[in-house]
Structure 1
């Protein structure tokens, strides 16, 4: 059973979800943007230690709290680690931020215009470990490159198959079939994503609910039927490569959607900032993303 206070916050809270879940492939880029080059580590273990330091600094900053940040998506190593002497999920919830865990293991090669998720044979065990640490939900990402109806149907179906398994483990899944901003057929792909998500939502048994994390659509308010669907807890938007100002502007035109930004949240943070400068930059980003998330309700 999910925590009722966490569920109430995700259903009705004002704010957004921070995406702090960069994994192996995206960690070097995240560190580079933070001002730490690849010459700063000699092993994967050292690299992950550096990104954990960055994330710990974020989640312990004064501006990072449940007043504006509803939830935070964590990488597995971050969930297993400590910040300020406490397990990260515990620290987050003490600050009013609902913890989520990224559970996917990366992407398959592109076929039929989409990249499916790799198999997750240890998903049940990971979900139970996350529950034991106080995690509320999960997130898993697949990618859509072309408006291929068969490919998108398979992509979305796979997301919901794993979502049912996650629900059975007592967690709330965030389903994320991302439409690439580089797609030449983005508008058509958006519509196919809507069609196949609605089909899968309507097939969910009574009492089963999901969250959705979607690319900001070409057509404003395209996902309004998902925002209103009784089996959807919340629809959140990924920044997908947009700079923060553009992502905020697009988000503000999509009623009922809130942000779940990663790069757009962290883009102004640098390792060499002192604590006051760091919190000021983070707080400014949080304020702007919060404003875009609550102005369109």
Structure 2
């Protein structure tokens, strides 16, 4: 792909994947943040959403572990209490701002029961141009797939449809100067084992990178402006005693990535999925600590392996805050603690 923004795309991608840093996923939709607020008895209204995001973005030391923030469209347009836009608040810390540009999922016609496709391509070109003009430098699009061995999920149709949409989104983003974060999430719902999760992850990512190539998204080595945000290969939430060890998750996840992800990709920023804060950090740490274990991996992973967590950075924060301004400092301390732990994990130093 040729883009007038090629040099900037490379610089942005590298900045997002800086050693020891990750991306905060603060892009929960209004409905999703409402579910999170319900757990702490906070009303889901705009002033509360704005106050909570301000708490996150103004945390002292935030920039030491965070290279970028993914925002929801409402958040992208909001300002802090003193009138400074959130874009400027983050820019003052050297933190890049991104926007979630998909508009959610709908049932996939012709797919298996419960399979979905992600919407948002209509008008995306103009929206991306507008986000760039207002200070955004990257974007995110989430595809959602599930595993069910009995029915054959994910179907070939579901894999192809979501891979194609991710590629079209990525191409549009790069044209407009935004680094695309490509997020094909395989949900943890189900009783499948970790080996099945790894195999499906490999299959889905192979299709995604084939489609990215077909759409001219991938650039030559060291000149790519695309970041992958995949799930880790974990056993299903209902696997029971069939759950996997930390080492198994790390080994099988990286093995799947090594088989299908081009070395040109600058970084892989994992989503936390259904993992607890502690699990997500431990798995990331194990992957980076194992880089020197030659019998695990046939060669050293060429990408930065870091995080783009939502719940795994915010669960403790929400519990500490509970919608009370008197608790802001405690909530920010909780965010700094989780961010610091994941920063160390991204270096294999936890």
**Among candidates 15, 31, 45, match of residue 21 of structure 2:** 15
Mean Cα deviation higher: 267-276 or 89-98: 267-276
Indicate conservation of the 8 Å contact 1:226/1:235, yes or no.
no
What's the offset of the Cα at 1:209? 3.2
Indicate conservation of the 8 Å contact 1:64/1:283, yes or no.
yes
Deviation per CA, 1:189-226: give whole Å up to 9, x if none. 21211221332344435465311111112423121356
Indicate conservation of the 8 Å contact 1:147/1:188, yes or no.
no
Indicate conservation of the 8 Å contact 1:31/1:51, yes or no.
no
CA-based RMSD: 2.2
Indicate conservation of the 8 Å contact 1:114/1:152, yes or no.
no
- CA change 1:276–1:18 in 2 (3 A) is same
Deviation per CA, 1:207-264: give whole Å up to 9, x if none. 653111111124231213566521x232111110211101111222334321111011
- Quote the Cα distance in structure 2 between the aligned partners of 1:5 and 1:125: 23
- How many residues were matched structurally? 286
- Quote the Cα distance in structure 2 between the aligned partners of 1:294 and 1:202: 30
What's the offset of the Cα at 1:4? 6.8
Give the corresponding residue for 2:104: 106
Indicate conservation of the 8 Å contact 1:17/1:69, yes or no.
yes
Mean Cα deviation higher: 146-155 or 68-77: 146-155
Deviation per CA, 1:8-37: give whole Å up to 9, x if none. 41244431100000002212112224x234
Give the corresponding residue for 1:193: 204
- Quote the Cα distance in structure 1 between the aligned partners of 2:225 and 2:13: 11
Give the corresponding residue for 2:85: 87
Structure label with greater radius of gyration: 2
Deviation per CA, 1:99-155: give whole Å up to 9, x if none. 110001000125336321124322122212211121111001110013323321221
Secondary structure of the 2:169 match is helix
- Quote the Cα distance in structure 1 between the aligned partners of 2:53 and 2:280: 22
Q: TM-score, normalised by structure 2?
A: 0.75
Give the corresponding residue for 1:128: 129
Q: In the alignment, does 2:276 pair up with 1:243?
A: yes
Q: In the alignment, does 2:68 pair up with 1:71?
A: yes
Give the corresponding residue for 1:44: none
- Quote the Cα distance in structure 2 between the aligned partners of 1:274 and 1:11: 31
Give the corresponding residue for 1:282: 335
What's the offset of the Cα at 1:170? 1.5
Secondary structure of the 1:254 match is helix
Indicate conservation of the 8 Å contact 2:18/2:67, yes or no.
no
- Quote the Cα distance in structure 1 between the aligned partners of 2:207 and 2:225: 16
Map of 1:225-236 to 2, 5 A cutoff?
Answer: 225=259, 229-230=263-264, 232-236=265-269
Indicate conservation of the 8 Å contact 1:105/1:118, yes or no.
yes
Mean Cα deviation higher: 220-229 or 95-104: 220-229
Deviation per CA, 1:246-291: give whole Å up to 9, x if none. 1111222334321111011011122335233122111111111212
**Among candidates 303, 307, 311, match of residue 263 of structure 1:** 311
Give the corresponding residue for 1:180: 187
Indicate conservation of the 8 Å contact 1:265/1:286, yes or no.
yes
**Among candidates 189, 209, 214, match of residue 230 of structure 2:** 214
Q: TM-score, normalised by structure 1?
A: 0.87
- Quote the Cα distance in structure 2 between the aligned partners of 1:178 and 1:6: 23
Deviation per CA, 1:34-91: give whole Å up to 9, x if none. x234xx35xxxxx2331121001110121322x2111110011111111242111121
Give the corresponding residue for 2:32: 26
- Quote the Cα distance in structure 2 between the aligned partners of 1:82 and 1:4: 29
Q: In the alignment, does 2:193 pair up with 1:160?
A: no
- Quote the Cα distance in structure 1 between the aligned partners of 2:17 and 2:336: 24
- CA change 1:227–1:187 in 2 (3 A) is closer
